[in-house]
Structure 1
Amino acid sequence: MFSASKLSEDQKSSLKQWAAEGASIADLQKRMKDDLGISITYMDARFLVLDLGIEIAEAPKEEKKPVEEAIAAAPVPTGAVTVEIDNIALPGAMISGKVTFSDGETGIWMLDQYGRPGLDTDTPGYRPTQEDVMEFQKQLSELVRKNGY
């Protein structure tokens, strides 16, 4: 588990600045790896945000017109489903990682020692489309098989 005490004051201020600029937890995790050379799990990034008292700003919601609401309500895939494995599994997990669904929604997934899946998306209550679920399961099976689990 990563500790905030391992960061310098400059690194902490960089994290706070990135969050103030609108970075999500996943963005902070990626920038830590890319800019600071520190690779941590998504869960550690969540704890780090809490430990440092970093406020993650939500993008302001614009007032939608009725036609825009109907379009927004229809799930329109904008990309592919991507599934990644963490180098170190989350506590209590045999294997864990990150997923990005076709509509851009992200989350963390895990399989426990009994093979039971778990999914925690960044948006509470989010439900991926059936097509995305099928693609996620396919990619997850391939990753599990490929990595010998």
Structure 2
Amino acid sequence: MSHPKSLTSEQISQIQTWADEGDGLPEIQKKLRDEFALRITYLETRFLLEDLKIELKPEPVPEPEPEEAEPSPEEAEPAAGDAGAGDEGADGTGNADGEAGAASVTVSVDSVLRPDAIISGKVDFGGGNVTAWWLDQLGRLGMDPVESGFRPSEAQILAFQDELRAVIQKSGL
């Protein structure tokens, strides 16, 4: 393992430059090997940056705008089916139903956890659309809709995330 004291000030400033340019740990690890002949593991690279007090830039999160365009045709199909059913599709807009459902999102926590989950439960998006959710050991959120064709709207997902955040904070996780 390399210690920060074994690096020259030029090498340290070069590492800082790489981090400022947006390079991640794998890129910095590769450049250390290629340019400084310093073979260290990913974890050692992480510790080295921490010892040097070099912070990596967070990766920009891409906006989910293309995903919003996809649910619109899907919402139009159920709306057309509802219009044929009679009174259920009276307002005729799938988006208005999604926004109304967003206000009625209810999150509950299971008393018995799913395997490999640190917390799990159910979310009711309204209209009988219930989905099981869980948070695994790595902090990944999983969802399994009871109805296989159900896909919550963007507004419902945002409301679910807010409710889930509140429930997790209450539980002390």
- Structure-1 separation of matches of 2:96 and 2:137: 33
Residue 95 in structure 1 maps to residue 119 in structure 2: yes
User: Which structure has the larger Rg?
Assistant: 2
Runs of 4+ in 1 over 6 A off after TM superposition: none
- Percent of pairs with identical residues: 33
Distance 1:122 1:94 in 2: 21
- Report the residue type matching 1:64 in the other structure: G
For 2:105 and 2:83, locate their aligned partners in 1 and report how far apart those are by CA, in whole Å.
29
CA distance in 1, matches of 2:119, 2:155: 23
Q: How does the TM-score come out when normalised to structure 1?
A: 0.50
Distance 2:134 2:116 in 1: 9
Q: How many correspondences in the alignment?
A: 89
Report the Cα distance in structure 1 between the residues aligned to 2:164 and 2:85, rounded to whole angstroms. Answer: 38
Q: Extract unaligned runs of 5+ from structure 1.
A: 1-60
Q: Which runs of 5+ in 2 are unaligned?
A: 1-80
* Paired position in structure 2 for 1:8: none
The CA distance in 2 between the partners of 1:63 and 1:72, in whole Å, is 10
1:55 — aligned with what? none
More helix by percentage: 2
1:64 equivalent in alignment to 2:84: yes
Q: Is the 8 A contact 1:99 1:108 kept in 2?
A: yes
Task: Give distance in 2, aligned partners of 1:62 and 1:134.
Answer: 25
- Is the counterpart of residue 141 in structure 1 residue 165 in structure 2? yes
Look up the match of 2:132. 108
Q: CA deviation at 1:72?
A: 7.2
